[in-house]
């Protein structure tokens, strides 16, 4: 089942069960998917849907951080619930240790020797993990590994 079909089916289930939080999140996602489909003028692939979901995840994480700093725990909790729903449709995220091991492997394979090779290593790592980690986290880990060389 395609990711977009799964989202549509889950939206129907959430409507049937009266899960207001899930319904509101999935409606926003479906609207973004429809807008992207109109822009693209062709049906969305699972990769396109994942890119939309990643945008929502990034936005939610930023909102959680800002709400927490402002002392608005109620809004931070709402965003956290929404984030949980959205992350359910994305591939399992790698842990920091798994990511560090992948970075070390790529650095060895690429023959990278220092910070000048950051772009080359980042490109290879991001291709290998295919959305299983946040780009900022990957960048930090790659920088640390290359600086230690």
Chain centre to alpha carbon of residue 90 = 7
Domain at 96-147: CATH code: 1.10.10.410
100 φ, ψ to 5°?
-60, -40
pLDDT tens digits, one per residue of 25-64: 999 999 999 999 999 999 988 889 988 998 999 899 999 9
Domain ranges of the chain: 3-87, 96-147
Q: How far, in Å, CA of 95 to CA of 80, rounded?
A: 19
Q: Is the pLDDT of residue 127 over 80?
A: yes
Give the mean pLDDT of 123-127.
89
Q: How far, in Å, CA of 117 to CA of 68, rounded?
A: 36
Class of domain 3-87: mainly alpha
pLDDT tens digits, one per residue of 6-23: 999 999 999 999 999 999
C-alpha distance from residue 15 to each of 9, 23, 53, 55, 125 (Å): 10, 6, 20, 24, 39
pLDDT tens digits, one per residue of 104-113: 999 889 888 8
Q: For residue 135, what pLDDT is reported?
A: 82
Q: Is the pLDDT of residue 70 over 90?
A: yes
Give CA torsion, residues 55, 59, 65, 68, to 10 deg.
-140
Note the pTM of the prediction, 2 decimals: 0.73
Q: For residue 78, what pLDDT is reported?
A: 93
63: Cβ contacts below 8 Å, ≥ 6 apart: 75, 76, 79
């Amino acid at each position: 089942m395609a990711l977009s079909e799964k989202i549509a089916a889950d939206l129907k289930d959430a409507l049937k069960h009266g899960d207001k939080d899930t319904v509101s999140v999935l409606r926003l996602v479906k609207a973004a998917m429809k807008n992207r489909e109109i822009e693209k003028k062709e049906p969305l692939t699972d990769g396109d849907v994942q890119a939309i979901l990643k945008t929502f995840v990034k936005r939610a994480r930023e909102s959680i951080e800002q709400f927490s700093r402002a002392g608005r725990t109620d809004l931070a909790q709402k965003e956290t619930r929404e984030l949980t729903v959205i992350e359910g449709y994305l591939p399992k995220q790698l842990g920091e240790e798994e990511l560090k091991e992948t970075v070390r492997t790529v650095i060895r394979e690429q023959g990278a020797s220092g910070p000048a090779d950051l772009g080359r290593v980042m490109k290879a790592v991001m291709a290998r993990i295919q959305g299983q980690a946040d780009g900022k986290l990957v960048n930090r880990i790659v920088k640390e590994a290359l600086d230690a060389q």
